[in-house]
Amino acid sequence: MKKRVMMLMACMALGGIVLPAWGQSPDLANESKDLARVVRHPDGSRSVYKRQSGSKGMRCATYTASGRLAAINDYHEGKYGQLVGCIIYNYNRQPIYKVAYGYDSSARLIEERMYSHPGGKLVQRVIYKYDAGGNRSKPLIVSLDPDNNKVITPTMQEDVNKMHREMRGGAKR
C-alpha cells in the first residue's frame, strides 16, 4: 500500500511539472529551467516567476485568462538577496512604475514606495509594522495623487531613518 501511495505521489508530482506546459501562450511555453513558479489566479490569469539569467533578480510576467501579456515586473535583489527595487512594465513592455523597498536594522521590510515613470512622482506607499514578537502587521496602503505630489528622489536609507522616527512617534535620533 505504501508503495502505491508513493508511486501515485511521484506520478502526480511529475504530472504537475509536465501538464502545465500544454495550452500555454508562446511566451510561457518558452520558459527555461530558470522558472521559479507559476501562480494561477481566481480570474483565470496567471503569473509566471522566473529567475533573471546573468543578474540578481526575478521577472514576473502576468498573463490574462486568454494568454495575453498583461504586465511584467522585474525585481532586483541586493547583495544578500533582499529586494531593492522593481520596474513594472505594461503589456507593451513600456515602464510605468518603479518601486523601492526599505528595511529596518533587523533587515525586515518596512516600506514599499511606488513612483510613476517617467516623472518620478510618489504614487503609493505600502507600510509594514512589526509587533514585539516580530510578527508583521497587515500592510497599510497609502495611495497618493501623483498630480498633487512633488517629485521625490528615492534615497532609501534616509527614508528608512525618517520612517523609524515617525513610527516612534516623532522622536528624533
Let me know: does 76 contact 85? Beta carbons within 8 Å.
yes
Number of H helices, E strands in the chain: 3, 9
Predicted confidence at residue 86, as pLDDT, reads 92
**Sequence-distant (≥ 6) Cβ neighbours of residue 131 within 8 angstroms:** 137
Indicate whether 10 belongs to any domain.
Answer: no
Of 67, 93, 119, the residue that ends a domain is 93
Alpha carbon distance 117, 93 (integer Å): 13
**Residue 101 burial (CB count, 10 A):** 21
Same domain, 114 and 152: yes
Number of Cβ atoms within 10 Å of the Cβ of 115: 21
- Structural domain of 72: 23-93
- Domain identity same for 148 and 106: yes
170 within some domain:
yes
- How high is the mean pLDDT in each 10-residue block of the chain (173 residues)? 38 35 43 74 92 80 92 89 90 92 90 88 91 91 72 51 55 43
